[in-house]
Each structure stands twice: as C-alpha cells, then as structure tokens.
C-alpha cells in the first residue's frame, strides 16, 4: 500500500459512521463503475463553502 492509500485509510478510519457513509457516496460519484469494462474517473464540481461533503472531500 502506498503513502496516499495509507493517508486516505487513516483519515477514513477516523471518521464516524455517518461521515464514512457520506465519504463513500462522494467518492462513488467521482467514478463510473463499468459493467464488464474498466471503471473510469468522472469529473466533479467542488463548490466552496461550508458543506459537510466539501469539508470531507478536502481532507482527502
């Protein structure tokens, strides 16, 4: 496991269950799961401001 994955795991494990669920949803929006094909990245828009999802995103 690389440094980036270790850092992400450390942050994720420090979140409560509600924040972990929100984080999973947030990152799943950034990936298009391929059925029988490769998964691909998808562009997302990160808005400035104080939303919980944005704060979680920027931790990673």
pLDDT, average across residues 43-52 = 59
Q: Could you tell me the pLDDT band of residue 2, with boundaries at 50, 70 and 90? A: very high
Residue 57 has pLDDT above 80, yes or no: no
* % of the chain with per-residue pLDDT over 70: 53
The residues, any chain, with a CB within 8 Å of residue 58's CB and separated by 6 or more, are: 46
Q: What is the chain's mean pLDDT, rounded?
A: 76
Distance CA 17, CA 38 (A): 29
Q: What are the start-end ranges of the E strands in the chain?
A: 31-32, 40-41
Distance CA 46, CA 1 (A): 27
In the chain, domain spans: 7-59
3-state helix, strand, coil in the chain (%, to 5): 50, 5, 40
pLDDT at 31: 75
pLDDT, average across residues 22-29 = 83
Q: Model pTM? A: 0.56
């Amino acid at each position: 496991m690389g440094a980036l994955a270790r850092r992400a795991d450390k942050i994720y494990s420090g979140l409560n269950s509600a924040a972990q669920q929100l984080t999973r949803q947030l990152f799943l929006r950034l990936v298009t799961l391929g059925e029988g094909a490769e998964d691909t990245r998808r562009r997302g828009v990160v808005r400035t401001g104080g939303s919980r999802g944005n704060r979680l995103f920027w931790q990673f």
